[in-house]
Chain A
Amino acid sequence: MEKFTSHTGTALPLRRSNVDTDQIIPAVYLKRVTRSGFEDGLFAAWRNDPEFVANKPEYQGVSVLVAGPDFGTGSSREHAVWALMDYGFKVVLSSRFADIFRGNSGKAGLLSVPVEQDVIEQLWDLIEADPTTQVTVDLEAKTVTAGDLVAPFEIDDYTRYRLLNGLDDIGITLGNEADIAAYEATRPSFKPVTQ
């Protein structure tokens, strides 16, 4: 995974709540067995509409998504994170994320940043007034900056540490293999096995 310290880019104001993972990428786009190329499925239904915000010329090349509350609800599909990343997003801001989406984004290297809804509203206003507004998300300082707006955000220390260092979870866990083996030796015999 790539290290994430700070990112600055233009942003897409998505004035919608409850953007579920079926909206982020519909199921028909999940049939690939590879891990890239999912950008064509991102917001697929909405992108048919020329008025959809992501289709507007002023929002091309964006890398920060500013979304309404309850982002990433529903299906556990990590393809939703991959689609956002393949499209070019590095960061998603929302006042509330679904747990699985947030977990997936941390694993894949997309930064999901929870900020208060009033910060989201201010960002929407700023970006819509000037789509070239640069939004900076600094993981070291735990702040979001745009124009005069500086807002702190919370992220658990462990996820932050992993993202800052670009660490691979499996490698970390395998470092504790002795603990796993010791635990396995204590599992009761009545626990089921599949073979």
Chain B
Amino acid sequence: MGKTLSEKVWDEHVVRSAEGEPDLLYIDLHLLHEVTSPQAFDGLRIAGRQVRRPDLTLATEDHNVPTLDWDKPIADPVSKTQVDTLRKNAAEFGVRLHPLGDIEQGIVHVVGPQLGLTQPGMTIVCGDSHTSTHGAFGAIAFGIGTSEVEHVLATQTLMQAKPKTMAVTVNGQLQPGVTAKDLILYLITQTGTGGGQGYIVEYRGEAIEALSMESRMTICNMSIEWGAKAGLIAPDETTFAYIEGKPEAPKGADWDAAVAHWKTLVTDADATFDKEIVIDAADVTPFVTWGTNPGQGAPLGANVPTPSDFEDEQDRIAAEKALEYMGLEAGQPLRSVKVDTVFVGSCTNGRIEDLRLAADIIKGHKVAEGTRLLVVPGSVRVRNQAMEEGLDKVFIEAGAEWRGAGCSMCLGMNPDTLKPQERSASTSNRNFEGRQGKGGRTHLVSIPVAAATAVKGTLASPADLV
């Protein structure tokens, strides 16, 4: 019997396999950032261990970094200590670091792909759950905790039980104006936050094949929000074209050998998955969240749900708590929800195509009175590219704030936070209580909905601007 894509990649990385034990899996690329690495380096020091493969390791600064005044010392002393600690550790252990101010600095999941380090058939880990982003290239990529970061630093391997396999097949084509973000939010609402638990998910089908690499990254990025171990997409010509010519892409004979291998990374016709979900792309419309987990979502055209309509008791209680926290009325049209801040950015939607799409919708409009629009590129390179294309001017003329690169308001570890009860429409990935600032209220949205909402001041789609 044939193998699925994820089984092929997994099997290629098994260093050691024994009955009753997890597999020992080799890691091709280990990405580091300042938040989840300090205690891991400390562990190495205490045990007198080295980084086994600094040449398969890359660090950048993203979670804590300010998006204003980034050329000055970091004002928050605790954030500064954490960033300085990463710099010291990278120097001591010989790890390549792209610090604040460097042309390659940015959100770790934007940096890997833009450098061409993220390639098909790899295993990629990082102490960050959105490592699943890299699965868009046909890699097995997943987030790990700090103990595992230390394990990878010391051994370049991880002990992992082989997950089950799932296929999510998306037939047909997304409607015009409907994005990969709407699709993944729609899917998470169908499955709940635990629906993917224990599975590596392969996204496939006509609608997935039609997506750009950056849109595929948006899909794979949010695999973790429905509990999947990882999400991946078979590499194809779109993938190869995206990688070719990137700084760390294979060159010459290596390129030919790589592509020949990458072309084998597809699920065999006779392979079977442990579970399959089929979606019709035509059913997906602009989608937003109303609650406090990514599974609490609805079409933009719908109303805020009524908790008593939920059959499951836990779902009903969760909905009641969510509406109270979010300050929403059951039955209220989602389009009537007034938004204070719109955040465009994050590892979900902070790449150049996202900024182009946002600028295209904003162009010729003004940000609504009483609403602020924060545009935070995912990396310095994305920022520079946007400025070359004049996108910064479009945003600034509309009244938006054009910022430096980093995670920013996605999780508010830097000064970009919501105030208590402030409401955001956010292109990021988590609407958890307090995620964007204590007491802040988050609606997860796509780029078009974010841009239109900034102009209208209430949750909206571009169709509402005409």
Contacts and interface: CB of A to CB of B under 8 A. Distances in A.
Contacts of A34: 38-39, 42
B15 interface: yes
B336 interface: no
A81 interface: yes
Given A103-B148, A157-B20, A193-B55, 14 more contacts: A17-B317, A22-B430, A26-B434, A28-B438, A33-B38, A45-B439, A69-B194, A77-B36, A78-B145, A100-B142, A107-B145, A192-B28, A192-B122, A194-B58
B193 A18 contact: yes
A104 B81 CA distance: 24
Contact of B36 (A78, A108, A172, A192): A78
A30 interface: yes
Contacts, number: 212
Interface stretch (B255-263, B269-277, B394-402): B255-263
A73 B145 contact: no
A77 to B, nearest CB: 7
Interface stretch (A85-93, A142-150, A173-181): A173-181
B144 A18 contact: no
Interface residues of B, number: 89
Interface string A152-195: 00001110000000000110111011011001100111111111
Contacts of A103: 144-145, 148
A176 B434 contact: no
Interface string A73-109: 1111111010000000000000010111001100110
Q: Which 7 A-B pairs have the closest CB atoms?
A: A104-B145, A107-B147, A78-B145, A33-B38, A76-B143, A190-B258, A190-B254
A180 B82 contact: no
A16 interface: yes
Contacts of A172: 159
Interface residues of A, number: 60
Contacts of A20: 293, 430, 432
A176 B254 contact: no
B151 interface: yes
Contacts of B96: 194-195
B81 to A, nearest CB: 6
A173 B55 contact: no
A26 B15 contact: no
Which of A15, A23, A99, A177 lies at the interface centre, i.e. has the most chain B CB atoms within 10 A of its CB?
A99
Contacts of B54: 194-195
B57 interface: yes
A68 interface: yes
Interface in A21-45: 22-23, 26-28, 30-35, 45
14 contacts: A16-B321, A18-B292, A23-B434, A31-B82, A34-B38, A35-B39, A76-B36, A76-B127, A79-B146, A81-B145, A104-B145, A104-B148, A158-B22, A183-B15
